[in-house]
Structure 1
Amino acid sequence: MNDLVYVFAAVAGLAALLATLAIWAPRRTAVRMTAVVLTALLLPASYLGFTTLLSQPKPITMEWLESGAGEATVLGAVIREDEGIYVWIQPEGGSTPRYYVLPWDLKQAQQLQSAMRDADKNQNGLKMRSPYEPTWDRREPRFYAAPQPAPPPKDGPGTGDDDGPMIYRHPGWDV
């Protein structure tokens, strides 16, 4: 995020210059005020655009568009002590995977590491609850191994799906 600060400072300076020109322009007051308001709206829009377009991880607290997702599949994660938790997630609903950084939290890092071990052992994937909502509730883990999928229904006698039990007959037998 180091380059982002400089780019945003340049945009803010240009926006301030634009607002100054709009204020001193020989136009009606309503037109000048509209220009100032639009200039003020340019700042948060440009900051949001910069954080979205960069290939660096986006701070998860800056996500407003996907905030309604209840769960996400964790495609990859890196834990950096005292720096942050980097996650690549696929939100429910099929939107594109995104790269985020969570603020450093030892308990969340331990949860993630434990869930990664469980998911690797069971080979069933890793999930994240409420990815975009800050939570103070520590009762349920934020990261967890996905549950095993339900086995397919068994077709057996009496289900109406077949003519009875399947019996293998060797081709050489006369029965």
Structure 2
Amino acid sequence: MKVLALVIAAVLLAASYLAGTALLGQPKPARLALLESTSDEAVVVASLNVEGKAIYLWLILPDTNIPRAYSLPWSLETAEALRQAQVQAENNGTEVRMRTPFRQSEGGTMQQFYAPPQAPMPPKT
């Protein structure tokens, strides 16, 4: 009986190790970002839209400078809002930001993409 318990423990340990390494580098679904859920805003470093599947985002959260990968469920409305913010950010010379990156409403996600306005020029002297 003890041998069987040791074999089962060894198999579970190996399986959890393999599953953990398979998850490394995979984007985390935004709905599972429990520890990050208090963030009110994030900077969108990069994005990839896979139509019908997901919207993949690299986000920098306020308390860190390291980008992390997240995924949102595919939504044409969300993809268009992200693209509009990217165009606006390019025109403004700013970055794309995301409000409420990890909050969800009853009807779905509450994410809002936007590009902050360009910073004013310093006064001439």
TM-score (norm 1): 0.54
When residues 56 and 141 of structure 1 are mapped into structure 2, their CA distance, relative to the original with a 3 A threshold, is closer
For structure 1, the 5+ residue unaligned runs are 1-13, 19-45, 157-175
Coordinate RMSD, CA, aligned: 3.2
Once the two structures are TM-superposed, the CA of residue 151 in structure 1 deviates from its matched residue by 3.1
Structure (1/2) with the larger strand percentage: 2
When residues 111 and 69 of structure 1 are mapped into structure 2, their CA distance, relative to the original with a 3 A threshold, is same
Structure (1/2) with the larger helix percentage: 1
Distance in 1 (CA, whole Å) between partners of 2:104 and 2:20 is: 23
One-letter amino acid matched to 1:70: D
- State the number of aligned residues: 113
Matched, 1:129 2:99: yes
Structure possessing the higher relative contact order (Cα contacts under 8 Å, 6 or more residues apart): 2
Matched, 1:97 2:63: no
The 5 A counterparts of 1:154-165 are 154=123
Counterpart selection for 1:64 from 7, 10, 34? 34
Once the two structures are TM-superposed, the CA of residue 69 in structure 1 deviates from its matched residue by 0.7
One-letter amino acid matched to 2:99: R
Distance in 1 (CA, whole Å) between partners of 2:124 and 2:83 is: 39
When residues 81 and 62 of structure 1 are mapped into structure 2, their CA distance, relative to the original with a 3 A threshold, is same
Asked if the contact 1:57/1:86 (under 8 Å) is kept, the reply is yes
Distance in 2 (CA, whole Å) between partners of 1:136 and 1:150 is: 39
Partner of 2:12: none
- In the TM superposition, what whole-angstrom CA distance separates every residue of 1:32-77 from its partner, at most 9, and x where no partner exists? xxxxxxxxxxxxxx7xx939x5111111111111111110000001
Once the two structures are TM-superposed, the CA of residue 85 in structure 1 deviates from its matched residue by 0.4
Asked if the contact 1:74/1:90 (under 8 Å) is kept, the reply is yes
Distance in 2 (CA, whole Å) between partners of 1:86 and 1:122 is: 24
Asked if the contact 2:95/2:116 (under 8 Å) is kept, the reply is yes
**Rg larger in structure:** 1
SS at match of 2:105: coil
Q: What is the identity percentage for the equivalent residue pairs of Structure 1 and Structure 2?
A: 36
For structure 2, the 5+ residue unaligned runs are 10-15
When residues 95 and 63 of structure 1 are mapped into structure 2, their CA distance, relative to the original with a 3 A threshold, is farther
When residues 50 and 95 of structure 1 are mapped into structure 2, their CA distance, relative to the original with a 3 A threshold, is farther
User: Which consecutive aligned stretches of 4+ in structure 1 deviate over 4 angstroms post-superposition?
Assistant: none
Matched, 1:118 2:88: yes
Partner of 1:81: 51
TM-score (norm 2): 0.74
Asked if the contact 1:76/1:87 (under 8 Å) is kept, the reply is yes
Distance in 1 (CA, whole Å) between partners of 2:116 and 2:20 is: 33
